[in-house]
Amino acid sequence: MKIDGKAFRTIWLAADGWSVEVIDQTKLPHRFEIARLTGRAEAAHAIKAMIVRGAPLIGATAAYGLALALREDACDSGLTESVAVLLATRPTAVNLRWALERLEARLRPLPAGERVAAAYAEAAAVADEDVEICRSIGAHGAGLIEALAAGKAKGRPVNVLTHCNAGWLATVDWGTALAPVYTAFERGVPLHVWVDETRPRNQGASLTAWELNKHGVPHTVIADNVGGHLMQHGMVDICIVGTDRTTATGDVCNKIGTYLKALAAHDTGVPFYVGAPSPSIDFRLRDGITEIPIEERDGRELSEITARTASGELVTVTVTPEGSPVGNWGFDVTPARLVTGLITERGICPATEAGLRSLFPKTT
Ligand code: MRU
């Protein structure tokens, strides 16, 4: 996607041909900064500290992180240790494990001397494939928005509600939930996006709003609790969210608060779709609520807010009373029965085992 007319991905190989550059998402929306990753420790830190985040981008960063790690130590034990270090960075998004298992399977049989070049090539393939997967999700999902537009008075926008950031910043390019929005927008469909602020880290208010704004897509940031009210008043035509891990049976794990939006959508009859790339589907799991590990993060993400003052300075303030404990769960699970459909790169299917198997008969 473009930032002020210049095409960017979220991760790329630097001009030196070996270090890796990423957009530092902890600085957005106030500052656009590029971070350079030069080794395993920096790659692991980038994922853990959410300099990069979003399931597909976490996977791509882990892949490049392994390439960087192998430059430091490419022997068998080095490979084992680096996979373990990168895998431990964040627990919920399955793309992390998916990418590392893919690279390990490719690299393990090779002699140590060939592993670095092969790791870079495989990481580049992971990144390029992610772009194509997201592009396809966009093409399939745009049809849903076009169909809704056809039922509206001419020129009236389709109102899409989204949660967290599942746009191009969360992937290598295009996004998952937002790919259908960008594709429909490019096709000239009138649309408008309700952007959940997504406390505690505000990925909606800071990242989704930023990228929609840069692309010129009409949108409005709303507090996390507003969605249900809008749905009751016919102001949402469709919800589209992303996923960090979807089970073989169609349970969807995504940013905390997604479940409440799905409940409201179910109650009000608003279709609830999930942009679900195949690397985010964990075919080994059947019950999302009991089997998916839910990340618990530092309570300061909740008790503090970093914001820009009128003079442009970035300040961090505390919003809770001193001494009040906080709990900070990062994700929740939306049961498959609340999901209208999964938008995958191979098409749209019901959130059921049969639905997923109809599109991915062989994937394990
Ligand atoms: O904690 P984050 O910001 O990594 O969480 C991101 C999300 O929950 C996204 O919705 C999900 O990764 C899908 S990204 C295309």
pTM of the predicted model over 0.95: yes
Q: What is the H or E stretch that residue 339 is in?
A: none
- Report the separation in Å between the CA atom of 363 and the middle of ligand 1, taken as the mean of its atom positions: 23
**Mutate-to-test residue for ligand 1 from 48, 165, 331, highest number of ligand atoms within 8 A of CB:** 165
Work out the pLDDT band at 363, boundaries 50, 70, 90: confident
Q: Which residue spans within 63-214 are E strands per DSSP?
A: 158-162, 191-196
Domain span including residue 224: 140-359
Number of domains forming the structure of the chain: 2
Q: Residue 4 above 90 pLDDT?
A: no
Q: Identify the pLDDT of residue 182.
A: 98
Phi, psi for residue 5 in degrees, rounded to 5 = 85, -10
CB atoms within 10 A of CB 110: 15
Q: Is 173 in the pocket of ligand 1 (CB under 6 A)?
A: no
Three-state secondary-structure class, residue 179 = helix
Query: Two tokens at 298?
Result: 């530092």
Please tell me if the CB atom of residue 51 comes closer than 6 angstroms to any atom of ligand 1.
no
The backbone torsions φ and ψ at residue 70, rounded to the nearest 5 degrees and listed phi first, read: -70, -25
Predicted pLDDT of residue 5: 86
- Residue 329, Cβ neighbours under 10 Å: how many? 11
- What is the atom index within ligand 1 of the atom nearest the CA of 255? 8
Q: Which atom of ligand 1 is nearest to the CA of 163?
A: 10
CA atoms within 13 A on the CB side of 278: 19
Q: Are residues 116 and 229 in the same domain?
A: no
Helix (H, G, I), strand (E, B) or coil at 207: helix
Based on the domain organization, do 53 and 193 belong to the same domain? no
181 and 125 share one domain: no
- The reply to whether 43 and 148 lie within a common domain is no
Residues 352 and 221 in one domain: yes
pLDDT in tens, 99-115: 999 999 999 999 999 99
Residue 167 and residue 267 in one domain: yes
> And the tokens for 237?
């035509």
CATH code, domain carrying 79:
1.20.120.420
- Say yes or no: 121 and 202 in one domain: no
C-beta 166 within 6 A of ligand 1 = yes
Torsion of CA 23, 27, 28, 30, to 10 degrees: -130
Q: Are residues 186 and 326 both part of a single domain?
A: yes
Helix, coil or strand: residue 25 = coil
CATH number at residue 261: 3.40.50.10470
